[in-house]
Structure 1
Amino acid sequence: MDLEGVLMASITDEEFENLLTGFAHEAVHLETRDAYGTAVELPHMAQWAAGEEDDLRWLQGWCSTLREHVRAGKNVRRARIVSEPLSDYQRWSHSIAHPMVEAGEDIRWVPRRLLSSIAIPGNDFYLFDDRLAVFLIYAGNGLAVDKITSTDPGDVRLCRVAFEAVWKLSVPHHRYEPV
Structure 2
Amino acid sequence: MKNILFLGDSLTAGYGLPVWQAYPSLIQQKLQQEGYSYHVINAGLSGDTSAGGLHRLGHWLKEPVAIFVLALGANDGLRGIPARETTQNLQQIIDKVQLHSPEAKIVLSGMEIPDIVPGRYAAEFRKLFRELAIKNNISFIPFLLEGVVGIRNLNLPDGIHPNAEGHKILANHTWAVLEGLLEK
When the two structures are superposed, what TM-score results if normalisation uses the length of structure 2?
A: 0.38
- Identify, as 1 or 2, the structure richer in strand: 1
When the two structures are superposed, what TM-score results if normalisation uses the length of structure 1?
A: 0.39
Bigger Rg, structure 1 or 2: 1
- Which structure exhibits the higher relative contact order, with contacts defined as CA atoms closer than 8 Å and separated by 6 or more residues? 1
